[in-house]
Amino acid sequence: MTAMDLYDYFVDEMEEGKFKTFKHEHFFGEENGFTIMTDELQYETPFDVFGKLFDVLFLKKHLTQFLLLRNKILKETAENS
């Protein structure tokens, strides 16, 4: 975790790994009495043109589906606790 504003925001960033860069921001707000979390994901793939091609063909869709599934599980867990 590289930044945090308690109750409103936090960031997790990759320090080392397979990506060139990887930054995941979480924003929290309130709407009609419900907590709303919004994700922003920024990343760069290694391997220049091959990494960009892999991103366009597979990675972006995979990461989007991963975040949607993870958020669904978080929502269900929070609402049933």
Per-residue tens of pLDDT for the chain, all 81 residues: 999 999 999 999 999 999 999 999 999 999 999 999 999 999 999 999 999 999 999 999 999 999 999 999 999 998 897
Q: What does the chain look like in DSSP terms, one character per residue?
A: --EEETTTEEEEE-SSSSSSEEEEEEEEEEETTEEEEEEEEEEE-SSHHHHHHHIIIIIHHHHHHHHHHHHHHHHHHHHT-
pTM (2 d.p.):
0.84
Q: Going by DSSP bridges, is the β-strand pair 21-31/34-44 parallel, antiparallel, or unpaired?
A: antiparallel
CA quadruple 50, 54, 57, 61: dihedral sign: negative
